[in-house]
Chains A and B, each alone.
Chain A
């Protein structure tokens, strides 16, 4: 597609339920990043995928968070047993190469845990 596509754009879920957030990067982009922005906070790095290499998971806040990237393209961020503090905008970005260039953000998924 022309840009990074995220779905759903909005998600309201009950505390304790699992949620899956999807990111479809720009075709051919080998690097994919997940970030989140909680209310009143800056952007927080979650996880980074580069090609077929093992992902950098250093930003995941707890073991309830996991992500995978199938076939080097679409990525799914899964949050198990959601908590209210998980409420945030989850942003995905992709890049044509590792690093700072050709970096495009998706429009985000706003997650609300009630």
Chain B
């Protein structure tokens, strides 16, 4: 069993839909990252969370430390949001990566 589990693995949405990607972890971490990987392989760091909620534009990330769960929400989804979204738990120099959620937003 992976230390970090993401769901769903694949997600197809219509443009404008509200999207949620979930991440659960089973290890102790000091922070949780949400990463976005585009088809070319480049990765962008979206959020780093240690508690509560963060918002950036149409993206919202939340974390519940007690339940060891985080969610990434995308409001008013757009085709340019199509990418792989990766959840990563971090503690000291150890990172635990989920296998990613592949999102496709259809116009």
Contact = CB atoms under 8 A, between A and B. Distances in A.
B31 A43 contact: no
Q: Which of B33, B35, B43, B88 has the largest count of A CB atoms less than 10 A from its CB?
A: B43
A100 B43 contact: no
Interface stretch (B17-25, B56-64, B65-73, B90-98): B90-98
B95 A91 contact: no
A45 B2 CA distance: 14
Chain B contact residues: over half helix, strand or loop, or mixed? Answer: strand
Given A42-B86, A42-B98, A99 B42 contact: no
Interface residues on A, range: 20 to 34
SS class, residues of chain A in contact with chain B: strand
Interface in A61-114: 89, 91, 98-101, 103-105, 107-108, 110
A99 B30 contact: yes
B45 A103 contact: yes
A7 interface: no
B53 to A, nearest CB: 18
B43 A103 contact: no
B81 to A, nearest CB: 19
A37 B93 contact: no
Contact of B44 (A48, A50, A56, A105): A105
Given A91-B43, A108-B42, A108-B43, A42 B90 contact: no
Interface size bucket, B side? 20 to 34
B11 interface: no
A44 B100 CA distance: 12
B99 A100 contact: no
Given A42-B98, A43-B86, A105 B43 contact: yes
Interface of B: 2, 29-31, 33, 35, 37, 40-45, 48, 86, 88, 90-93, 95, 97-100
**Which 4 A-B residue pairs are closest in the complex by CB-CB distance?**
A100-B90, A100-B31, A107-B42, A89-B41
14 contacts: A43-B97, A89-B41, A91-B41, A100-B31, A100-B90, A100-B92, A101-B48, A103-B45, A103-B90, A104-B45, A105-B35, A105-B42, A108-B40, A108-B42
